[in-house]
Structure 1
Amino acid sequence: MQPTHDAIVLGAGAAGLFCAATAGQGGARALVLDHADTPGKKILISGGGRCNFTNIHTAPERYLSDNPHFARSALSRYTAQDFLALVERYGIGWHEKTLGQLFCNSSARDILGMLLAECRAGGVDLRCGHAITAVNYSDGLFRVETAQVAFAAPRLVIATGGPSIPKMGATGFAYDLARRFGLKVVQPRPALVPLTLAGEDALFRELSGVSAPVVASAGKARFREAALFTHKGLSGPAILQVSSYWRHGESIGIDFLPDKAPGWLLSAKRDRPRTQLRRVLNETLPERLALRLDELLGVAGELGSASDKSLRSAEQRLSDWRFTPNGSEGFAKAEVTAGGISTAELSSKTMEARKVPGLHAIGEAVDVTGWLGGYNFQWAWASGWAAAQAITAANL
């Protein structure tokens, strides 16, 4: 079979569309295949429908991977400022929400529309509703068969993401394909996902709907954002962040009063001895949360009648309240997937497999997972751009 294209990109998500558009504008004949009926479904639901398309604080240390240095090359060569310049060139209004997170003023459809316009500018052959039935490699060509037709190209890009949010059609296809080509896969797991509580911790489920600004920690990772109690356990930005670092059987910590200086409770006892602990807590925390913490701390009566030891103990516990989740809400609620195609198998410059010339893997399919807040989109843009440069160079 003769080549039908210069590169076949599997997956019409953020990474796949951007890679194909960039390669196409560089002169390559690029094809994008996706089993879904329309492109960019995950893009449209991201950021509450407004697409948190990048983060101005993007840096390699804000990504998880078995190789923490792998993302450095791609992120340094295609930056958040580069993508923002593209957004502005299309006249898309944007704003910074918090912590460097950039959102569309209007709708995520603006970003998808921009990507599709970029694909048209690059002459990309975009075909949705094409379920892949077979992928083979021989004589320097990748042959991809669908129910409708077969295609062939010297370059194949795996951009089908991970299994997070399966209701959107997400699967582990990328990993199955990688293994077929002899590439190792780091065990995938849900990331940026709510955590579930059981046992004594389940008492906090009664606070469903209550949120508070906290510092959440898992191991050495610490995030200062809001935590939200749910009917299943814990969620909110702070919890989603630490969930990527959490492992089953481990505990996480929450500092409910991160702005309090050491010794604050003894100072309260000295300054307001007739005040009760729950009243002090309620000055900073939501009432229902303050009452629950007060009950569990067991500091009865007025502060003046409590021992210094009991108050020091309460202060310590409030600064590092330990929860041991019994699990997470899984891939169904995970915003992204941690793990994936091992970076040890790929070139950090071209995203090309070392063992299989012409095979690339980008985006969420790879063992690179960013923090919450636009970091994973920036990895999609940067890794897609890196692969596109290699595809373009191969055609020169």
Structure 2
Amino acid sequence: MLSQEQHILLIDDDLDVLDAYTMLLTQAGYQVKACSNPLEAQELLTKEWPGIVISDVCMPGSSGIELMELLLARDACLPVLLITGHGDVPMAVEAVKKGAWDFLQKPVNPAQLLEQVASAMAQRSSYIARRRWQKEQLHASLIGRSEWIKQLRVRLQQVAETDLAVYLHGELGVGRTLAARFLHHIGHRNEQPLIIGELVPGNEPPLEQWIEQAQDGTLVLRHLNYLPIAQQAQLIRLQAQQPLPFRLIGIGPSTLVEMAAGNIILPDFYYCFAMTQIACIPLAQRPDDIEPLFRHYLQQACLRLNRQVPELPAELIKRLSRRVWPNNVRELANAAELFAVGVMPLAETANPLLHESEPLPLDQRVEDYERQIITEALNLHQGRINEVSEYLQIPRKKLYLRMRKYDLDKQHYR
């Protein structure tokens, strides 16, 4: 295998030519791995190796073009520079259309070779640096150690290299909008606007305004299931343009198949996202993420509140992992913030119905849980209704009605 320090893989079945090219490139400061067998060469590359390939076209066993196709199938952004004889020029031109960096005609002009190599190396170095930065950003921001979160990071990094429309679906609070934000952040449009449009039933959204604001950037549509059919048709037309005027990301609770079956979305709108659907699963289905997420949000809350990060007792960690978390990561973040201010978020009312000998009716379960959430928020914000209303994303009038229903008085929390 090639090391990270070897910048160029050089392939030619003519040993004299191989030695001459190696000497030229070495004198120019490059680390070169010379190989005379194209079949062996394809086994030398590791994924995201930070170098380039220079290959002769006509070789026994495998042509340079066949080798290039194999290498690009593994890493589509790997620069492959071909060297060809006069009679092979049409073939080399066709290879460039298939993804070759460029080709040089024999006899090779040394200055031209070094110029091509310098250009390819600069592009490759930039690409590898961006890939590493993307991974760092995703690991720092998409917290967890479950297999699902690992696959999500990989998937987002893959689609970030494209302009394809993406659809993120799952329950509330699972991180769909966070994933959309980071898909924009690590993509090549990250210096352009990120516009997040909220769709609501019964209201026609200002789609034209959002599209204008998102030009050359990213448009995220939350609750895609509420997008009117006429506006779906408008987005279908825009997604057929080249280059794309903006990247489109949809967020919704249901799969595209379910929405298409219910005639909620047009068939052509389905196909805009068909290859890039990403399911965001509930927190309860990825318990390995619960502890690292809780620690992350606890540290954030303590930093914001200028408090020392408290120790997490082993028993508390166990209870965190057993909890159902109906509101997913959002609820976990709220619990961490409560714990930061000394409020134990996992009191007896936490997930009380998993241990009942006689199951309670659904309405009673929902009411018990709603009362718990409001109580925790009142504790956290010391009864300040404006802050509680904003924290729970509920109008003040509706919050007061719920508090009256559960006999909760803000004065008791000051």
Q: When you count strand as a share of all residues, which structure comes out higher?
A: 1
If each structure's helix is expressed as a fraction of its own residues, which one has the higher value? 2
- TM-score normalized by the length of structure 2: 0.21
In terms of Rg, which structure is larger?
Answer: 2
Question: Normalising by the residue count of structure 1, what TM-score does the alignment of the two structures yield?
Answer: 0.22
1 or 2 for the larger relative contact order (CA 8 Å, sep ≥6)? Answer: 1
